[in-house]
Amino acid sequence: MNNDSIKQQAIYLALTNIPEGRVISYGALASLAGLPNRARLVGRILSQLPKDTHLPWHRVVNAQGKLSFAKDSPHFALQKTLLESEGICFVGDKINLRTYSYSVTSHHCDSGRLD
DNA sequence: CAGCAGGCGGCAC
DNA sequence: AGTGCCGCCTGCT
């Protein structure tokens, strides 16, 4: 039980809290896992997920609402497809975080919804 | 809105 | 101990 697996578990757990149809940024997920400023660690951990994982890795996008993969890569296409299948709409190659972001992002009271 | 710079943590050489 | 690479972020042009 080393420190790495602790962080890994924290990130996995936080990720399971992201509901379908919502997305979260690397940095926000890191904070949610109790690891502020560890956005890159999240990316690293996710890149090492087994291919058959049940975790919703595709719901993690960068702070600009874009996918952190080259637009011509199969990863990009897969993630985009998975997100769209959950009802998430892309504008160009970006997602409107104000609408779909899971936690924070809400300036006042609402829990992320816009209406 | 696009670029760029600086910062962040972790790991492989 | 130094360098460079990341599924990153923020702030400033």
Kindly report which amino acid residue has its CA closest to the C1' atom of nucleotide C10.
A63
Write the Ramachandran bin of A112: left for phi over 0, alpha for psi from -120 to 50, otherwise beta. left
Cβ proximity of A69 and A76 under 8 Å: yes
More reliable by pLDDT, A57 or A6: A57
Average pLDDT over residues A107-115: 40
- Supply A35's token pair: 């690891």
- A28 pLDDT band, cuts 50/70/90, is very high
- A6 pLDDT band, cuts 50/70/90, is confident
Nucleotides of B under 7 A from a protein CB: 1, 7-11
Alpha-carbon gap, residue A5 to A74, rounded angstroms: 28
Cβ proximity of A18 and A24 under 8 Å: yes
Average pLDDT over residues A94-114: 65
- What are the tens digits of pLDDT across the range A33-82? 999 899 999 999 999 888 889 999 999 999 999 999 988 889 999 999 99
Alpha-carbon gap, residue A12 to A99, rounded angstroms: 24
Following DSSP, what letter does each residue of A50-110 receive, concatenated?
A: -TT--S-GGGEE-TTSB-SS-TTSHHHHHHHHHHHTTTPPEETTEE-HHHHB-SS--SSSS
CA end-to-end span of chain A: 45
- What are the tens digits of pLDDT across the range A84-103? 999 999 999 999 999 999 96
The answer to whether some atom of strand C lies closer than 7 Å to the beta carbon of A60 is yes
- Supply A67's token pair: 């996918």
